């Protein structure tokens, strides 16, 4: 099994008495690959590539938007890493080739993004496109 790029992100939102919410975020991006020994036992190897932890830089009014914007930020970082990995494998690529890979999702390394946000899952699983209240999350 070839390596996959795995991103795991989480956010925390807490309303404060002064009206200024505390919004923290964190994410890791790592390469994960599977090694199968002669008996068929699988072992997963993980190589950390990047991590971020700190205060959310977006203005948010709730948990849903904090989680969603953190996932979007993680995706932005992951696409840069996918482009880097593509050039490591195949040599220097033009900006137009990298843009085409991004638009079509045809990077040679697969990307998996993970969240524990039930609110994002529920929104996506409903099957209808209700416009969010916060314009920045559209």
Partners of 53 in beta bridges: 26
**Number of residues in the chain:** 138
In terms of DSSP H, where are the helices of the chain? Answer: 63-90, 95-104, 118-125
- Write down the pLDDT at residue 126: 82
This prediction has a pTM of: 0.78
- Maximal C-alpha separation, the chain: 61
Cα dihedral: 60, 65, 70, 74 (round 10): -130
Q: State the Cα–Cα distance between residues 96 and 40, nearest whole angstrom.
A: 42
**Going by DSSP bridges, is the β-strand pair 110-114/4-14 parallel, antiparallel, or unpaired?**
parallel
- Tens-binned pLDDT, residue by residue, of the chain (138 aa): 579 999 999 887 776 677 666 677 889 999 999 889 999 999 999 999 999 888 777 666 677 778 888 898 899 999 999 999 999 998 999 999 999 999 998 999 999 999 888 888 887 788 766 676 666 666
């Amino acid at each position: 099994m070839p390596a996959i790029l795995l991103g795991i992100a989480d956010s925390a939102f807490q309303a404060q008495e002064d009206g200024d919410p505390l919004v923290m975020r964190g994410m890791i991006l790592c390469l994960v690959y599977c090694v199968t020994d002669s008996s068929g036992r699988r072992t997963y190897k993980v190589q950390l590539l990047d991590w971020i932890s700190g205060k959310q830089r977006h203005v948010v009014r709730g948990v849903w938007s904090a989680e969603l914007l953190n996932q979007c930020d993680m995706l932005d970082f992951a696409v840069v890493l996918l482009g880097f990995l593509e050039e490591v494998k195949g040599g220097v690529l033009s900006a137009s080739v990298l843009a085409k890979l991004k638009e079509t999702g045809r990077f040679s390394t697969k990307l998996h993004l993970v969240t524990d946000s039930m609110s994002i899952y529920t929104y996506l699983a409903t099957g209808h496109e209700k416009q969010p209240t916060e314009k920045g999350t559209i």
